[in-house]
Amino acid sequence: MRFLLGVLVGYSLRGKQKLLIRFLVTLALVVYVIVPAIALLGLSLDVQRERRSRPAQTKVPVLKGLTYQDAERKLRAANLNVRLLATRHDSALQPGLVIDQTPAPGEEVACGYFVGVTISRKDYVGPGP
């Protein structure tokens, strides 16, 4: 680039070799403007094609504190599915409430994705004998 600019400025100052100056200007325009513009256009088209090929996305709603049935309804409304991961004793909560979820609320996932929930239960199952 510097060499090309130096030759171009040198010949412009002398006012000679007008054909060479036109050639160098045309070459610089093609190399530094037209070729990158074509490459960026191609990249833009690839990005748009890739975005269209992705599955539809939705945000995971907040489920903590809801009953399993309410959580299931809320997930179905958001085009998501529910999967029971575990049940855990929690004396501070009434049984049947969601106490944890995966993925976290607000995360973007594909429609139809399974959201795992952990539900509180009433009875305490202690360690075995």
pLDDT of residue 125: 56
Contact 60, 78 (CB under 8 A): yes
Predicted model pTM? 0.56
pLDDT digits (tens, 9 = 90+) for 81-96: 999 999 888 777 788 8
pLDDT of residue 129: 55
CATH class belonging to 57-121:
alpha beta
Cα–Cα distance for residue pair 121/21, rounded to 1 Å: 84
Residue 120, CA distances (Å) to 4, 24, 57, 93, 117 in order: 74, 76, 29, 7, 10
As given in the structure block, the two tokens for residue 54 are 């992705």
Domain boundaries, the chain: 2-53, 57-121
> Does residue 103 or residue 31 have the better pLDDT?
103
